[in-house]
Structure 1
């Protein structure tokens, strides 16, 4: 894995008719245990939302590449919920999977704060960074509480002149390009001059395979997009020990590719003609079951080397999932300025992924692995497959998707 990254942008503008975070150190074992419990509940809610979002996107997009960061989307809208009131607030939190009998509003934001800190924690083996930014129209006056609450999400604040659309677009795009290490450029093409606020969430991931592929074994092979379409792809090959499981019930094979550090990629390869059946079963519970069934085995793994990106119109997708008022004149985002005259005009998510043999720009790695004498099983990922990239410390699905055609950009 060379890199994976995502970006979520929410644009708010005028046109609607007419939580506080405590940062302190607590040595109490009881409170530490309570925080851990809240963080696990956040992970569960985020996982539920991830799969719900996947199924909605898959329903909309059909048999095309899907790739996104569910935690980027949930973080952006959780941050926006700081300003939401009444029905607008409940639609956001319910769609994100939060239940106030399980997590209070304060618990939600404090748990997101800890999640962001953990994902950004230094890891010499894994490069993972997540951040938020707010671009506000010059002279727009925020409520003091909203500014204070934004610190839960460690959001950087910038002023922008949205009336000067060219300069505002450049300012936001320059920020995005810098934070994504140049991997996402020209994200914003245009912007409404009535815009008052732009919220940005990004996540950047760069991992090195724990067991890198050997570049000299990569060869051009067939990838079967569907019954009538075959494309040629550079196919990486490695023989080694992998955690693998064949699920006869869902007609799929699951293999775990670990990164150096606290993350793994889970690849789910359906049998021919069984993608729909596997997608139907694709859920938080199924992924947990698959993980528990994985067993170490000798595998001759064939996996395509590819780069792809995908853009989601979150406005249409989330409206189908239950977040409706925030995009209409019924929006109540009065927590921003004290007035109910703001709504979300645009919400866009973009993610990109690049997979190669080593996961580094230029590096050579030599590994020695002891193999059993039995013949390895061959797993050829040469047809559409699902994938999920998970961070183990926070139990977070940082990226997920479906690769139908590795050559499609």
Structure 2
């Protein structure tokens, strides 16, 4: 089998600006960047805490997919639901009252069943599990807060950002918007190994805080699992580690029907029915880049206050003088093979022992990349024209 090397680079970003005439109090000591390290969690309570948020994260993934399809009809879709969920959960950490409730409910959490504290604890353990050293794939996620040097953040907020979200805090001079933009773009470029060069095109002059979440993923694929359904085929290719890629190919003209069926329950059912098969799969080389206006999409999901003058982000500075002016998500997907677009498995330990089916991904298909250990959806997308150069 030829090695296939998918690379996913994704970043979510917020601009947070002043929304009243009240100035943020001056902060004499600049907040320095710090690396927060913590032991990786063990099985037991930590894993249960992580699993408590995964169903909501998965529901949000499919809700966001539908919004992406509406925002850019007929276009490629590719995003990281776990990246977006983490960034907004971090925002909820600094939100209060209705603003906070809307953010968490927009992330598909039922606040009657799950407490805010449990949600943040769940994200904390999820981030630690995703960064586990035993995994054989390259998978890293970071959160960075660029704070205006005149902003005086609450000590409890800074502490929780670092403890719960592995957050790095960087003091930034937003009065020099050109230099601030250069610093933020340079930081993201460095963290994504030079693949995402520019996430920030412009900077509001009243910006006081920028929250950036980014995820870097790279791995090698091997083996094939397959299932034939009435109007679509599912091919699962595990990475050498705990991550797997799920390629879903509908019959031509059946994509809408497939999209309408997308829920966490149906995808779970598909995965359980997969069997290891001897197949020939033709997956084309791909390189796509997408950008999403998160503000518009989250407002459609009921998250409105944090983007308005009604925003209450007093958990950040102690006063409700901030609002989110812009939220964006940028994603890059590369799938390439070592000189070939075809890969075939020739092992004998397969079911059934018959002529291997040939699966050609030469028309629109769906793609999910899932961390098997936590069952978290890392990346999700639709490739509209896979044969396009």
Q: Which residue of 1 aligns with 2:114?
A: 103
Alignment size in residue pairs? 365
The correspondence of residues 94-243 of structure 1 with structure 2, limited to 5 A, is 94-123=105-134, 125-151=136-162, 152-211=164-223, 242-243=224-225
C-alpha contact 1:2 1:358 (8 A) present in aligned 2: no
TM-score when scaled to structure 1? Answer: 0.84
Q: Which residue of 2 aligns with 1:4?
A: 8
Q: Which runs of 5+ in 2 are unaligned?
A: 23-36
In the alignment, the residues of structure 1 paired with residue 275 and residue 184 of structure 2 have an alpha-carbon distance, to the nearest angstrom, of: 46
1:37 to 43, 48, 70: 48
Structure 1 residue matching 2:320: 3-state secondary structure? coil
Q: Which residue of 2 aligns with 1:313?
A: 293
Q: Which residue of 1 aligns with 2:70?
A: 59
Structure richer in strand, relative to its length? 1
Structure 2 residue matching 1:315: 3-state secondary structure? helix
In the alignment, the residues of structure 2 paired with residue 366 and residue 267 of structure 1 have an alpha-carbon distance, to the nearest angstrom, of: 15
- 2:352 matched to 1:370? no
1:84 to 72, 91, 95: 95
Deviations 1:133-152 (A, max 9, x none): 00001111001111111121
- 2:324 matched to 1:344? yes
Structure 1 residue matching 2:279: 3-state secondary structure? strand
In the alignment, the residues of structure 2 paired with residue 314 and residue 344 of structure 1 have an alpha-carbon distance, to the nearest angstrom, of: 11
Q: Which runs of 5+ in 1 are unaligned?
A: 212-241, 360-364
In the alignment, the residues of structure 2 paired with residue 82 and residue 316 of structure 1 have an alpha-carbon distance, to the nearest angstrom, of: 21
Residue 259 and residue 269 in structure 1: after superposition, are their counterparts in 2 closer, same or farther (change >3 A)? same
- Give 1:34 deviation, angstroms: 4.1
Structure 2 residue matching 1:142: 3-state secondary structure? coil
- Give 1:408 deviation, angstroms: 6.4
In the alignment, the residues of structure 2 paired with residue 383 and residue 366 of structure 1 have an alpha-carbon distance, to the nearest angstrom, of: 20
C-alpha contact 1:307 1:406 (8 A) present in aligned 2: no
The correspondence of residues 288-327 of structure 1 with structure 2, limited to 5 A, is 288-327=268-307
In the alignment, the residues of structure 2 paired with residue 17 and residue 325 of structure 1 have an alpha-carbon distance, to the nearest angstrom, of: 18
C-alpha contact 2:364 2:383 (8 A) present in aligned 1: yes
In the alignment, the residues of structure 2 paired with residue 302 and residue 142 of structure 1 have an alpha-carbon distance, to the nearest angstrom, of: 52
C-alpha contact 1:208 1:358 (8 A) present in aligned 2: no
2:229 to 239, 247, 252: 247
Q: Which residue of 2 aligns with 1:331?
A: 311
- Give 1:368 deviation, angstroms: 6.5
C-alpha contact 1:162 1:192 (8 A) present in aligned 2: no
Structure 1 residue matching 2:178: 3-state secondary structure? helix
Q: Which residue of 2 aligns with 1:231?
A: none
In the alignment, the residues of structure 1 paired with residue 79 and residue 183 of structure 2 have an alpha-carbon distance, to the nearest angstrom, of: 24
Residue 371 and residue 378 in structure 1: after superposition, are their counterparts in 2 closer, same or farther (change >3 A)? farther
Deviations 1:250-270 (A, max 9, x none): x21111011100111001101
Structure 2 residue matching 1:298: 3-state secondary structure? coil
- Give 1:394 deviation, angstroms: 1.1
Structure 2 residue matching 1:399: 3-state secondary structure? strand
In the alignment, the residues of structure 1 paired with residue 274 and residue 74 of structure 2 have an alpha-carbon distance, to the nearest angstrom, of: 28
